[in-house]
């Protein structure tokens, strides 16, 4: 039952006044929806209408080529797909970026929590003594001045975001978290690209190894035949020496290729989170086919490139931080409500006569700080200009990379056609030369020269294919990798 006696009237009137004051302050805070600082607008960037080197390429819509951003499936290699799955789950560099993203998410939750009231509960006991001012009396009554106090209190405090400082802070943290997510996706794409490049190079080396092994076998047969002819007096010692030189040189190239392959294999092991000693890739007969890479429109590059997405979100965060800095010029409004019990004895600690309460708003602002707030505003504005310049530079670098890889692929394609013609001619020349040598028309030295030329052309064609495969991966990464909304899909 409520105590309506006259002696409690002043307390009830004070409580009513406090409640009205709290309600008025709360209404003022809710009605004030302003947020100090500029609202974000995307910085303008130089955006070409089309790629300069895109002649002959087809434009692609975001979802017409790949499903779920699995761009590596363009190469049609199931073993490669399995390695990418392992990388996505076990790569330690990606794990570091993922942990950084979780930290950014935690900062967002913390900033969002600052918009809500804080509730505190405390309980404790204090033991205190105060002297009487006379040493003799203090000695005679040393225990009479000691007093125990028991306290328990429940308090509610809420900072009204009148000027939008907390909201701008939350906006900055959310943008930073999105930038961290884009960095995570960019790191994952970078590691995937590195693995695919290593894998494709390794498969080309498998083919080069088979070529060198077959060549060594052929040169061994030529050496045996030349030695037999030398014993029969048909060939000279110089022919045997040439055959031996050719064989040993090719064997050395084969040995060199073996350690190069081992390096690529070890790199793949680390990318999928395994020690090199626990991983190996068996040789295969096939080289993944060079895919037809679909191009995005220049405007779509800004949405698909993960580094561009991260740079723009950093601009958003820097823009919001300007509002946080400017809000420091305005007073902070804090609404608080507290109540509890305080007593000198434990027995009647929690009782109505020992209750206390307080309620009221609090305005606080800095009147003079020696220019610190002004300097902080200048710093945040300069930081914003820095992030804008970085964003624009990232966009320019993105277009440059695409243009470079486009022209590189086009030039390598033209070169591949010429190299293949040279290889066909070298093979035909070798066939004719070997027939002439067997017929005794020419010396073996002539055969050695033609054989070396044919082998050089064989390896050049394979090396060129390796370059084209690697460049295709780099172009895909430059276009944003999984360009079917990978960033947004992953966040959802």
CA 6 from chain centre, in angstroms, equals 69
- Residue 422: which residues within 8 A CB-CB, separation 6 or more? 457, 460
pLDDT at residue 110 in the model:
93
Burial grade of 476 (CB within 10 A; 0-12, 13-18, 19 or more): buried
What is the sign, positive or negative, of the torsion defined by CA atoms of 14, 20, 23, 29?
A: negative
Where b means 16+ CB within 10 Å and e means fewer, 110-119 reads ebeeeeeeee
In the chain, which stretches have pLDDT less than 50? 1-16, 18, 21-22, 24-26, 28-32, 59-68, 137-142, 483-492
pLDDT at residue 36 in the model:
82
pLDDT at residue 66 in the model:
40
Contact 153, 350 (CB under 8 A): no
76 — alpha (psi -120 to 50), left (phi > 0) or beta? Answer: left
Token look-up 């203090």 returns: 138
**CB-based contacts of 239-244 (< 8 A; 24+ apart in sequence):** 239/443, 239/444, 239/445, 242/444, 242/445, 242/448, 243/219, 243/444, 243/448
What is the sign, positive or negative, of the torsion defined by CA atoms of 264, 266, 270, 274?
A: positive
| CA dist., res. 434 & res. 441, Å (int) | 10
Tell me the residue length of the chain.
Answer: 492
Residue spans of alpha helices (H) in 355-443: 372-438
Phi, psi of 425 (to 5 degrees): -65, -40
The model's pLDDT over 200-247, given as tens digits with 9 standing for 90+, comes to 999 999 999 999 998 998 889 888 888 888 888 877 888 889 889 989
- Strand pairing class (332-343; 355-364): antiparallel
* Apex 458 CA angle, 457 and 459, nearest 5: 90
| CA dist., res. 52 & res. 72, Å (int) | 26
Q: Provide the 3-class DSSP secondary structure of residue 412.
A: helix
| CA dist., res. 466 & res. 474, Å (int) | 12
**CB-based contacts of 144-148 (< 8 A; 24+ apart in sequence):** 147/344, 148/344, 148/345, 148/346
| CA dist., res. 356 & res. 124, Å (int) | 15
């Amino acid at each position: 039952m409520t105590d309506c006696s006259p002696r409690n009237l002043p307390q009830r009137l004070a409580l009513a006044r406090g409640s009205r004051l709290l309600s008025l302050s709360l209404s003022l805070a809710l009605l004030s929806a302003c947020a100090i600082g500029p609202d974000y607008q995307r910085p303008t960037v130089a955006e070409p209408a089309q790629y300069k080197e895109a002649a002959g390429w087809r434009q692609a819509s975001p979802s017409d080529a790949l499903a779920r951003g699995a761009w590596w499936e363009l190469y049609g290699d199931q073993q490669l797909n399995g390695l990418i799955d392992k990388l996505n789950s076990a790569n330690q560099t990606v794990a570091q970026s993922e942990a950084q993203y979780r930290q950014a998410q935690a900062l967002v939750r913390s900033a969002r929590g600052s918009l809500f009231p804080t509730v505190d509960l405390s309980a404790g006991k204090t033991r205190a003594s105060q002297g009487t001012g006379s040493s003799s009396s203090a000695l005679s009554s040393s225990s009479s001045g000691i007093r125990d106090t028991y306290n328990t209190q429940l308090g509610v405090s809420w900072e009204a975001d009148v000027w939008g400082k907390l909201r701008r802070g939350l906006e900055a943290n959310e943008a930073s978290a999105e930038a961290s997510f884009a960095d995570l996706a960019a790191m994952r794409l970078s590691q995937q690209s590195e693995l695919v490049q290593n894998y494709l190079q390794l498969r080309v080396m498998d083919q080069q190894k088979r070529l060198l092994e077959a060549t060594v076998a052929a040169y061994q047969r030529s050496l045996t035949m030349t030695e037999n002819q030398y014993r029969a007096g048909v060939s000279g010692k110089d022919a045997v020496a040439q055959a031996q030189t050719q064989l040993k040189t090719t064997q050395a190239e084969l040995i060199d290729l073996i350690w190069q392959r081992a390096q690529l294999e070890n790199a793949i092991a680390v990318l999928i989170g395994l020690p090199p000693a626990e991983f190996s890739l068996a040789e295969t007969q096939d080289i993944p086919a060079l895919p037809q890479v679909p191009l995005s429109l220049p405007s779509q590059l800004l949405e698909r490139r993960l580094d561009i997405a991260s740079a723009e979100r950093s601009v958003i965060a820097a823009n919001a931080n300007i509002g946080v800095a400017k809000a420091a010029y305005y007073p902070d409004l804090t609404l608080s409500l507290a109540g509890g019990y305080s007593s000198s004895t434990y027995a009647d600690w929690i009782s109505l006569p020992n209750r206390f309460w307080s309620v009221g708003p609090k305005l606080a602002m800095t009147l003079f700080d020696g220019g610190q707030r002004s300097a902080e505003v200048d710093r945040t504005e300069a930081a914003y200009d820095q992030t804008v310049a970085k964003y624009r530079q990232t966009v320019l670098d993105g277009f440059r990379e695409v243009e470079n890889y486009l022209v590189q692929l086009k030039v390598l394609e033209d070169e591949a056609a010429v190299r293949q013609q040279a290889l066909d001619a070298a093979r035909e020349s070798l066939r004719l030369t070997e027939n002439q040598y067997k017929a005794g028309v020419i010396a073996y030295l002539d055969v050695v020269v033609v054989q070396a030329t044919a082998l050089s052309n064989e390896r050049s064609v394979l090396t060129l294919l390796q370059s084209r495969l690697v460049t295709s991966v780099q172009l895909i990464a430059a276009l944003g990798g999984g360009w079917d909304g990978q960033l947004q899909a992953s966040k959802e």
